[in-house]
A and B are shown apart, each in its own frame.
Chain A
Amino acid sequence: MKFGAHLRQLAMIATLGFTIWHWASAATIRAKAYLAPILIARAWDESRAHQVDVKPWPWADTWPVARLHVPALNIDQYVLAGANGAALPFGPGHLTGTALPGEPGGVVIAGHSDTHFYFLHDLPIGTKIVLERRDNGRLTYEVTDKTIVDTRVENLLIEPDHPLLLLVTCEPDSIFSARGPYRLVVTALPAIERPQQEPAAFVEAG
């Protein structure tokens, strides 16, 4: 009888350990996502001051390339170089090979659906998205389309030289996991500025 209780205590410790382990890992993921912008903000300021790429911490494999604002949702994030495991835990990543904001061509920015890009899920059509470049240039886009794609059958097609912005994040197919083959793709086109404002860098695609 006593032995059985002892075993149960051990099992309890094990399951508690299991819980702590998993919650700690979940917390680490969130904490990274939350804390990194503090360091990234400093790197971004430095990068703007000297117009060079600045790593937010010495061992980072990424650096901020732009700043993303969604004024309506109070979103303000730093976009990092590369949409890969080196960048995405810390912020939305700019997909290498696609245009940088302002370059001719499609800009693709990806973010984790459970951290930075959670807001994409309830981003209304028509919302203004502002990208700020290292040289203080600002580009305003307007959300025109949201689609869910199945990556098993579809490629991400970028119209070369066409100035649009694609925000990509995972579309969970269950509440138990954010991972899966589906992606939410938000398309935004350069917004037409009012004529009395500064000359617009872009026109809306006709």
Chain B
Amino acid sequence: MSCRSESTGLPAEPQHLVHQALQYLALLLVMALVGIGPVRAAVDDTRPGNPPDDAAPITLAEVATGELLFRTAVAGEYVPAVQLHTRADIQVNGFIANIDVVQRFKNTTRDWVEGVYVFPLPETAAVNAMELRIGERVIVGEIREKQQAREAYAAARKQGRKAALVEQRRPNLFATAVTNIAPGQEVEVHLSYVETIMYDSGTFTLRFPMTITPRYIPGARTQATEAPLGIAPGSGWAANTDQVPDAAEITPFLQPRRSMSLRPRNPIELFVRIDPGLPLAGIASTYHEIQVVRQSGIYAISLTGGPVPMDRDFELTWQPAVGFAPRAALFTEQLDGQTYALAMILPPEQNVETLRLPRETVFIIDTSGSMGGEPMRQAKAALQVALSRLGAHDRFNVIAFNDWPSLLFNEVRPATPQHLSTAQDWVGRLQSGGGTEMMRALDAALLPPSLDSGEYLRQVIFITDGAVGNEAALFRSIAGNLGDRRLFMVGIGAAPNRHFMRKAARFGRGHFTHIGRQDEVERKMEVLFDRLEKPLLRDIRLDWPAGSEALTQPDPVPDLYAGQPIIVTARLATLGGTVSATGLTAAGAWQQSLELTASRSHRGVATLWAREQLAAMNDQIALQGETDERRARMLKLALRHQLLSRYTSFLAVEQKPSRPLSMADRSRAVPNLRPHGQSLQPFAYPQTATSSVEAFWFGLVGLIATALLWFRVMTIRVATAPQGPQR
């Protein structure tokens, strides 16, 4: 009621009359005492306000308007200001995939617009070409230092020239900005990238991510949300924080949930052409319906029924026919007088009976808000399967976390039927909600010192969607606190943060499994548990022939789990000779060699090598921090190999201006789709009452007591007063 203006009529309740009187009293009192304090700008005043010119950078508040969704004839149907249509052409040759992605932006408004689209690509993607196409015109993108590219883009935007900028914001998160799109116009941004096909347990896997699970941003909001040049600052829903200084760049908006029309939003057409070089036993798509056409050993795959909405990852798997499984392979490319090679060696399966060591397993389950719905059910099911696999000699504990970790037991307990049943009940009751303070959960799992680690195989199994923005800090924590443990990641949901999963498992010396659907839980967890039990190939070394001056990645080669191949990229001075791989298995030493002979040149091998080098440097920066020297090395390599990286961006600028400067260019975000199966975001209710009402009543009680006492004192005085003079 204090918020009503004074002219409002008297409130009905007497309680509030008293309050109002009190308020006026207090108002006068405090006015007199306090005076009016100074007003201070919380943000640095040096930053200029919005200059009034038309091409001014759009402010956060402006981008964050609902105008990015326009009203249409159909009630409840939204049309984004910038419509996006994606087409992906994937060409697979053996272990290497070359992918062309076309993002077509259509301006549906009557204004000139800038479209900003933040999108995922595979975490191993090496983006090496970009083009901007406006009708028949093709403008080839150049690789530039990131900040330079942003400045040039901002300048072009201001001058009314069409321009496109593609940036890397995380190894699996990219952004395209296209500016000066005329009303009703369509422009296309073409991207090309190379990646290696995963090969594991006799299955090839190709993934194409399509949307982003919103990432949790930990830390305190930093006041000065610095606007990156060029790309609109408001392309994200999160404010930058001390822990995630670029939060606004990695948190794209999601589209409204419901769609009345049958036409998919953010539609994608997808075509895959596989030249496996060997006969296949089968091709399957895990989350989409596909059509497969085979012609002279080449398989052409397309989506059944045309374009689909980009709301879940695309995953394609294929198996070689029996007896044709590759044991070793070599792909080479000659470039600028250097030889680049991609080598694959698959150690044979060994059925060695090993002594099964008792395990000490700590499970971490993510119960944050982003896990709500289908993901939470999958996570709980996975954890229940895992619990049922524990043996009587094992010890375990479960940590569930959102804002804070909560532990099932104070410390690891033996996996007795009683403890297991307690655990199963506890897990069954878990609910999603709240933040994703992953660091606290990891600390709870990794920091307790080992009691008698010699007798136990210590493992941490981490079930999460990886939707966090502070990946680097988490990697540091994992690498620093791991000790003799191994960390196994179980990725959950239709669009998990695979970069986080893969790298966390790498730094945790474990393995990464992804569960995208409820019916995959059993099978994937079985594979994971086989991995936990089977002997590893450790201490892997590669000996390259003398004089080859091999520069290789990954270096050292991480431990292998059963069914995984060694995949190495190398730059060699000369071809010839053999590379020999050695390692330790439970059965003893293992050795295998591969002849380095020239074959036909494979497009993309050099790019993959450079990408692996960059990834290694990136890891080093994540662990040891950014230095000028590391930055310079990465920048040089990325520029030389024309690769998109954390320090380089692709930029294409049209020569002639097209937008009349009398008209404005408005920035519009292209929203992503909510990952399939993810549910509503729950929040805690805020505390919305003060103690003023209680205080009023307490005060009243006190006043009544005073009045009673005063009355008593008066009556005593009256009673005793006349007696005095008589004595």
Contact = CB atoms under 8 A, between A and B. Distances in A.
B39 A43 contact: yes
Nearest to B71: A203
A108 B706 CA distance: 44
Interface of A: 1, 4-5, 8-9, 11-12, 15-23, 25-31, 33-35, 38-39, 42-43, 46, 49-58, 63, 73-77, 83-85, 88-89, 93, 95, 97-100, 102-105, 108, 110-119, 133-135, 137, 139, 149, 151, 155-163, 168-170, 172, 175-180, 183, 190, 199-206
Given A19-B702, A156-B685, A161-B254, A25 B23 contact: no
A-B pairs, top 5 by smallest CB distance, nearest first, are: A206-B76, A19-B702, A178-B689, A27-B26, A22-B699
Contacts of B49: 49-52
A62 B39 CA distance: 13
The winner among A38, A103, A133 for most chain B CB atoms within 10 A is A103
Interface stretch (B28-36, B149-157, B199-207, B462-470): B28-36
Contacts of A190: 66
Given A102-B66, A103-B253, A160-B257, A31 B29 contact: yes
B655 interface: no
B78 interface: yes
Given A34-B23, A75-B3, A110-B688, 7 more contacts: A21-B702, A29-B692, A95-B683, A102-B61, A114-B19, A178-B692, A204-B76
B282 interface: no
B712 A160 contact: no
B693 A30 contact: no
A17 B223 CA distance: 43
Given A23-B695, A39-B37, A93-B686, A100 B64 contact: yes
B703 interface: yes
B68 interface: yes
Contacts of A29: 690-692, 695
The winner among B47, B682, B702 for most chain A CB atoms within 10 A is B702
6 contacts: A23-B695, A115-B1, A161-B255, A170-B689, A176-B693, A201-B71
A202 B41 contact: no
Contact of B59 (A135, A175, A179): A135
Contacts of B4: 73-75, 119
B260 interface: yes
B39 A39 contact: yes
Interface in B683-720: 683-700, 702-703, 705-706, 709-710, 712-713, 716-717, 720
Given A30-B2, A117-B688, A133-B61, A53 B253 contact: no
B69 interface: yes
Contacts of B30: 28, 31, 35
A116 B2 contact: yes
Contacts of B700: 19
A119 B1 CA distance: 6
Interface in B647-694: 671, 674, 680-694
A118 B691 CA distance: 14
Nearest to B49: A50
A202 B693 CA distance: 39
Contact of A35 (B31, B61, B671): B31
Contacts of A84: 686
A39 to B, nearest CB: 6
A151 B237 CA distance: 27
B432 to A, nearest CB: 10
The winner among A115, A139, A204 for most chain B CB atoms within 10 A is A115
The winner among A1, A18, A38 for most chain B CB atoms within 10 A is A18
A146 to B, nearest CB: 15
B454 interface: no
Given A22-B702, A31-B26, A201-B65, A54 B686 contact: no
